[in-house]
Amino acid sequence: MRRFAADRAKRLLFRSLFSSAATPSAPFSSSPAAAAAAAIDSAARSVTVDTINPKVLKCEYVVRGEIVSHAQRLQLELQTKPGCHPFEEILYCNIGNPQSLGQQPVTFFREVLALCDHPSLLDQSETHALFSADAVERAWKILDAIPGRATGAYSHSQGIKGLRDAIAAGIAERDGFPANPDDIFLTDGASPAVHTMMQLLIRSEKDGILCPIPQYPLYSASIALHGGSLVPYYLDESTGWGLEISELKKQLEDARSKGITVRALVVINPGNPTGQVLAEENQKDIVDFCKNEGLVLLADEVYQENIYVEDKKFNSFKKIARSMGYDDAHLSLVSFQSVSKGYYGECGKRGGYMEVTGFNAEVREQIYKVASVNLCSNISGQILASLVMNPPKVGDESYESFDAEKSGILSSLARRAKALEDAFNSLEGVTCNKAEGAMYLFPRLHLPSKAIEAAKAVDAVPDAFYARRLLDATGIVVVPGSGFGQVPGTWHIRCTILPQEDKIPDIISRLGAFHESFMEEFCD
Amino acid sequence: MRRFAADRAKRLLFRSLFSSAATPSAPFSSSPAAAAAAAIDSAARSVTVDTINPKVLKCEYVVRGEIVSHAQRLQLELQTKPGCHPFEEILYCNIGNPQSLGQQPVTFFREVLALCDHPSLLDQSETHALFSADAVERAWKILDAIPGRATGAYSHSQGIKGLRDAIAAGIAERDGFPANPDDIFLTDGASPAVHTMMQLLIRSEKDGILCPIPQYPLYSASIALHGGSLVPYYLDESTGWGLEISELKKQLEDARSKGITVRALVVINPGNPTGQVLAEENQKDIVDFCKNEGLVLLADEVYQENIYVEDKKFNSFKKIARSMGYDDAHLSLVSFQSVSKGYYGECGKRGGYMEVTGFNAEVREQIYKVASVNLCSNISGQILASLVMNPPKVGDESYESFDAEKSGILSSLARRAKALEDAFNSLEGVTCNKAEGAMYLFPRLHLPSKAIEAAKAVDAVPDAFYARRLLDATGIVVVPGSGFGQVPGTWHIRCTILPQEDKIPDIISRLGAFHESFMEEFCD
């Protein structure tokens, strides 16, 4: 199955989930009807879907695509006509957005942010009744690291030096190898960092980026926006989404034989949407592969705190490379981290960084220049990035409550992952690998041929058809696997493990009832 | 003078300020020596300046370019060897970053931000001693507008609906014409919004964007990064940086005759770096020009609160268009606003929005999709954008202190603008138009030919040579006019009006002494 040509897979990957026949108002379609409507408009104005940048048209981001627009419509209907659907609320399991589903922010982090936002609090006696002593102390330390204590000023293009120092220290403590604050570029979440690297590396469609399939669609979207070629490598579902070097080599050679210059390899560890955690030996092979083939290793490590199984642990690719004796001279490596994931889940703060190692000074200056055009990332996000990489330690006043919040969230996520994994595996024709880490399950749907035919009849991709039916029946929003890429002929959905624990039994029961009725309707 | 060919002007615009001969370690250069160093590196790795995206290489952003890197080096030297330079501190007049130079944030805004960052404060009795009642009330209102009160969740891709409602209401109140919250896209400052529009409109180098010369180099950088052509139109220095429709027409026709499809017109009002405020009649002509020629009007209105002269006022282009009876069917118009400027100057918060009107539903969906790929802008920035468009009103508890802070900042900026304008005009061979608005003066330097020769001898652009000498002698950082574009053969510098008022006399005196000695050294 995995021998399908790369371009076939790419066509499938970028294909709209629903054509205009199924949903005339579907966003992102460019049907003949839409083109006609556009032609009428162009009489008045020059900007139509036919005259905009085709790279924008080509880009897809299914995590917030048609299924979510439909869910938003249903939610509006529920508000205006309560009882009009067979469910009372929409459950957004489409996106890794923990706090939208009730996860509470970590108190210490928010205390420090509030104090840095309104530093005059630090001079007030009442403040000590409201904030922990170490939050006050940390806020002072952060303010002292900011020139003029000005949290409202643009910072250095890479971020405030003192915060980068704290992050580098956190990385060094995590890895046992030194980190350089000058290698840190603070960003508004991980997404802009990924865009920056794609912008740097991609010259034309002849430049390729090796990406896992399934992948997080930020990568396919960013490659499309920057006009490059996604070179897929398939994760092996039968071995728990294993990443095989032979597959990397095969796809690299295949791309090269087509005249593609492969510039980088994207690895998402822990995996999104697939949830696997790479073994150390596997990571070493990946590092060697990149080193030997002259590829930049783009390591998406935003789920580094999200590990739910005893026998796996997170190793950064930088730690692996350094432990092999490789330094800047051997490997170009970019590690992406975000405040949106982990136990913190601070998606709305848009904080993150990339650690950029193994590029020469001239290229680094180009990255610095691109960062400078956007001035700097938001200071609250910068502060938060320094906090997640340097949280309270044993002995700090906040440590016990902080640790209770952290381990409460992580252990609950582990229980939810297991419960949902078991639930999916209990369904007829569904198989689901373990979520060793990250925030998602990616069960495979072995759909009856009648369901596939029914999907085709409304010009829908089968897993999108299933996801739409699931939403309409239960209010549960999942993302069709086709938005992430999958071995052609296989169908999946991505479902987050993020609903609060007390909702899980109801979700499982609704899911089971829907699935049973779906399979009954379409049984062969 | 203004008849120089467009491509000549563009070459000058994108040219490095200093070649490698003058500063071997200069960032952003691509000298033969640098190329050789890169070739050595490429043996080990595949990424060099010769193999990265040439659009990245081409892009320049002088506001944080070589002159600032040099200033940072001097600052470090001052820290390690006090007294090693003829000044005690570096004065960053290169960038509109008010709080870095001591401007204090507006108290009400920061109160609300702190409360939203740490909402549990709202339940504590001590909070009422620390925060104004209307800040507490506003924080509740904002939290109630956020689904689940989750300030740590990704929001809707365009930003939180309730905040967009507040912004639309603020626009409607400002303009006297309705605004639609669905037209608002909240962004991390104005820069990402500009990139989004350039990304949408530019297909290739055959697509052009009409930009003022001088311009804020975000525009040239963004056009370069997206692979389009900057079509310059010259502002007329002799009429206070007047914007003449005849010039727009001439440059549009010239570009079209070269096969360029001009897609949009950028207007910065109040002007950056030029400080002029457009008259209403002029704006009407611009609107008609865009309407008749089918151009998108990209209105950079981030300095809308920064007006320092009695006889001018800010009119948004949307208000002008609506007052002419033009609606969505007549004109595609995008207005950019930011929390970084005005009296608030909250650069580090990275808040802003674009109001997108006059695009059809399909194109709007494409803009929404691109916004979705980046998930959302940071929530604190979103909140702040809603606050600056809906600040305390007469009768609110905070109103008097808020108004005192606001008018204190704006009146001080007006005095500083006038004092620096007069100072520049008092210098031999320097003429300086009034800063009617924005945050900059853009004096013209009539340099002696010996100074121009001396600059050429070190392969430097003459105004960059002057700026570098000024920095080395006084610690004052200004940006060479060549980074903004200027009529070929004329030389300028951009200097912000942002140093605190008590520093202005010293700046003026240092500037005067330096200039006198410079003119003496190079007198013809």
pLDDT tens for residues B74-83?
999 999 999 9
Tell which residue, A298, A274, A255, A263, has the closest CA to residue A215. Answer: A274
Q: Residue A153 is nearest to which of B97, B155, B372, comparing CB atoms?
A: B97
Amino acid identity, position B378: N
Instruction: Write down how long chain A is.
Output: 524
Q: Quick count: other Cβ atoms within 10 Å of Cβ B444?
A: 20
What is the C-alpha separation between A269 and A297, in angstroms, rounded? Answer: 12
B53 touches chain A (CB under 8 A): yes
Looking from the CA of B14 toward its CB, the CA atoms found within 13 Å total: 22
- Asked if residues B335 and B317 have their Cβ atoms less than 8 Å apart, the reply is yes
- Could you tell me if A214 and A232 are in contact, meaning their C-beta atoms sit under 8 angstroms apart? no
Q: Estimate the crossing angle of helix A133-145 against helix A161-175, to 10 degrees.
A: 120
Do B231 and B6 touch, CB atoms closer than 8 A? yes
pLDDT of residue A37 exceeding 80:
no
Question: B155-388 has which CATH code?
Answer: 3.40.640.10
Find the residue in B nearest to A290 (Cα).
B45
Q: Is B268 helix (H, G, I), strand (E, B) or coil?
A: strand
Q: Does B401 touch chain A (CB under 8 A)?
A: no
The answer to whether the bond into B270 is cis (omega within 30° of 0) is yes
What ipTM did this prediction achieve?
A: 0.90
State the span(s) of chain B assigned CATH 3.90.1150.10: 24-101+407-521
> Between chains, do B45 and A100 touch, taking CB under 8 Å as contact?
no
What are the tokens at B469?
């000498």
Name the fold adopted by A107-144+394-406: Helix Hairpins (1.10.287)
Residue of A305, A249, A248 lying closest to A277 (CA atoms):
A305
Whether B477 has its CB under 8 Å from any CB of chain A: the answer is no
Q: What's the whole-number average pLDDT of chain A?
A: 91
The DSSP 8-state label assigned to residue A499 in this structure reads: S
**For residues B149-166, average pLDDT:** 96
Rg (CA), chain B: 24
Question: Nearest Cα to A343, choosing from A126, A127, A98?
Answer: A98
Which residue spans of chain A are classified as CATH 3.40.640.10?
A: 156-388
The structure tokens 């005009």 sit at B425
Contact between A155 and A372 (Cβ < 8 Å): no
pLDDT at residue A487 tops 80: yes
Distance from CA of B130 to the nearest CA of A (A): 7
Residues above pLDDT 90, as percent of chain A:
88
CB contacts, 8 Å: A379 with chain B: 348-350
Q: Which residue of B has its CA nearest to A219?
A: B373
The set of residues, in sequence order, having a beta carbon less than 8 Å from that of B208 and lying 6+ positions away, is: B228, B229, B230, B231, B255, B260, B261, B262, B263
Distance CA A101, CA A282 (A): 34
pLDDT higher than threshold 90 for residue B499? yes
In angstroms, what separates the C-alpha of B307 from chain A's closest C-alpha? 21
DSSP 3-state of B467: helix
C-beta separation of B200 from B369 below 8 A: no
For domain A156-388, give the fold: Aspartate Aminotransferase; domain 2 (3.40.640)
Q: Which residues of B touch A115 (CB under 8 A)?
A: 114
Confidence grade of residue B64 (pLDDT, cut at 50, 70, 90) = confident
Cβ within 8 Å, pair A348-B376: yes
Which of B53, B59, B106, B326 is most worth mutating to test chain A (most A CB atoms within 10 A of its CB)? B53
Q: How confident is the model at residue A255 (pLDDT cuts 50, 70, 90)?
A: very high
Q: In the predicted model, what is the mean pLDDT of residues A460-482?
A: 96
Residues B316 and B173 sit within 8 Å (Cβ to Cβ): no
CA distances from A451 to A463, B230, B374 (A): 10, 52, 34
pLDDT digits (tens, 9 = 90+) for A126-184: 899 999 999 999 999 999 999 889 999 999 999 999 999 999 999 999 999 999 999 99
Q: Which residues numbered 251-290 in B keep a CB inside 8 Å of some CB on A? A: 263
Strand-pair category, A91-92 with B491-496? unpaired
Going by pLDDT thresholds of 50, 70 and 90, the confidence category of residue B42 is very low
Token digits of residue A244? 């095989």
| Contact residues on chain B for A498, CB-CB shorter than 8 A | none
In chain A, CATH 3.90.1150.10 sits at 62-101+410-521
Residue with the two structure tokens 């070097």: A245
Q: What is the DSSP string of B97-148?
A: -GGGGTPPPPHHHHHHHHHHHSGGGGG-TTHHHHS-HHHHHHHHHHHHHSGG
Question: Is the confidence at residue B485, as pLDDT, over 70?
Answer: yes
Asked if B111 is an interface residue toward chain A (Cβ–Cβ < 8 A), one would say: yes
Could you read off the pLDDT of B97-111 as tens digits, one per residue?
Answer: 999 999 999 999 999
Interchain contact, A363 vs B34, CB within 8 Å: no
- Alpha-carbon gap: B41 to the closest alpha carbon of chain A (Å): 7
Q: Which residues contact B412 (CB under 8 A, 6 or more apart)?
A: B501
Query: Residue B45: pLDDT band by 50, 70, 90 thresholds?
Result: low
Instruction: Report the topology of domain A62-101+410-521.
Output: Aspartate Aminotransferase, domain 1 (3.90.1150)
Decide if B483 touches A, using CB distance below 8 A: no
Q: For residue A246, with 0-12 CB atoms within 10 Å meaning exposed, 13-18 middle and 19 or more buried, which class applies?
A: exposed
Mean pLDDT, residues B496-506: 95
3-state secondary structure of B298: strand
Mean pLDDT of A59-71: 86
Smallest Cβ–Cβ distance between B363 and the set A52, A345, A376 belongs to: A52
* Averaged pLDDT for residues A206-210: 97
**B365: nearest CA partner in chain A:** A27
CATH number of this structure's domain B24-101+407-521 = 3.90.1150.10
B334–chain A Cβ distance below 8 A for any pair: no
For chain B, residues classed under CATH 3.40.640.10 are 155-388
Looking at CA atoms only, how far is residue A283 from chain B in angstroms?
20
Question: Which positions in chain A touch B203 (Cβ < 8 Å)?
Answer: 51-54
A·B CB contacts under 8 A: 312
Q: How far is B145 from chain A (nearest CA, A)?
A: 13
